[in-house]
Amino acid sequence: QQQVKQSPQSLIVQKGGISIINCAYENTAFDYFPWYQQFPGKGPALLIAIRPDVSEKKEGRFTISFNKSAKQFSLHIMDSQPGDSATYFCAAGGGGNKLTFGTGTQLKVEL
Amino acid sequence: NAGVMQNPRHLVRRRGQEARLRCSPMKGHSHVYWYRQLPEEGLKFMVYLQKENIIDESGMPKERFSAEFPKEGPSILRIQQVVRGDSAAYFCASSPLRQASTDTQYFGPGTRLTVL
């Protein structure tokens, strides 16, 4: 099963709050889990990525938490800002180099 | 250092015409991937190429679609006899010479194809 399930579909967070987006996968051959940020009319931009040898990775306000046994991973955006309003995609890759993407989460950060 | 470049950014075609989408990878990158994004959906893998070789085309429709990455010049995604269902954003990504099981992919700005 190549599917990556992402939730929620949309998310509204107050400025300064924590945004949390979750993804789950089935294929145990996946060994690379990136998150991409996409603004309207633009291409996806790599935000942060993790491999399954660690359970957490932090870069600035962005943290990936990874649970290998549950086959789940999540993106946490701390101190969310209006400029973070965008669509976020999780993805998974392994072996053949192609990425399997989730369906996306539209994040809106309100003042 | 230029990123992944795609052109045209917007392309309008009538049903039955051909669409050619071009992608120049980042400098030093020898792997190119094409993805399609339908409105309100995630990206779907189409094809993975290296110079002069198609490595994985498992996501390409069997008919009308083809891709190439010649020794010189950009990668081309070609759609023959376009239909309205081909309307989508087409993204190209590139990665450097393979170092790990999956390399980081950097995406271009996309080509938005509209079929009238």
At B89, list the tokens.
């954003």
Per-residue confidence band for A1, with pLDDT thresholds at 50, 70 and 90: low
Sign of the dihedral through C-alpha B8, B63, A89, B95? negative
Report percent pLDDT > 70 for chain B. 94
Per-residue confidence band for B102, with pLDDT thresholds at 50, 70 and 90: low
Residues of B in contact with A52 (CB under 8 A): none
At A34, list the tokens.
């990136």
Taking CA atoms, what residue in B is nearest to A49? B104
Interface residues from chain A to B (CB-CB < 8 Å): 6, 31-32, 34, 36, 42-46, 49, 89, 91, 93-104
Over 80: is that where the pLDDT of B111 sits? yes
In A10-104, at which residue ranges do the beta strands (DSSP E only) sit? 10-14, 19-25, 33-38, 45-50, 56-59, 62-67, 72-77, 86-93, 99-101
Over 60: is that where the pLDDT of B108 sits? yes
Phi then psi dihedrals of residue B60, to 5 deg: -85, 135
* CA distance linking residue A1 with residue A28, whole number of Å: 9
* CA distance linking residue A67 with residue A12, whole number of Å: 25
- In this prediction, residues A91-104 reach a mean pLDDT of 87
Q: How many residues does chain B have?
A: 116
* CA distance linking residue A81 with residue A18, whole number of Å: 10
Per-residue confidence band for B104, with pLDDT thresholds at 50, 70 and 90: confident
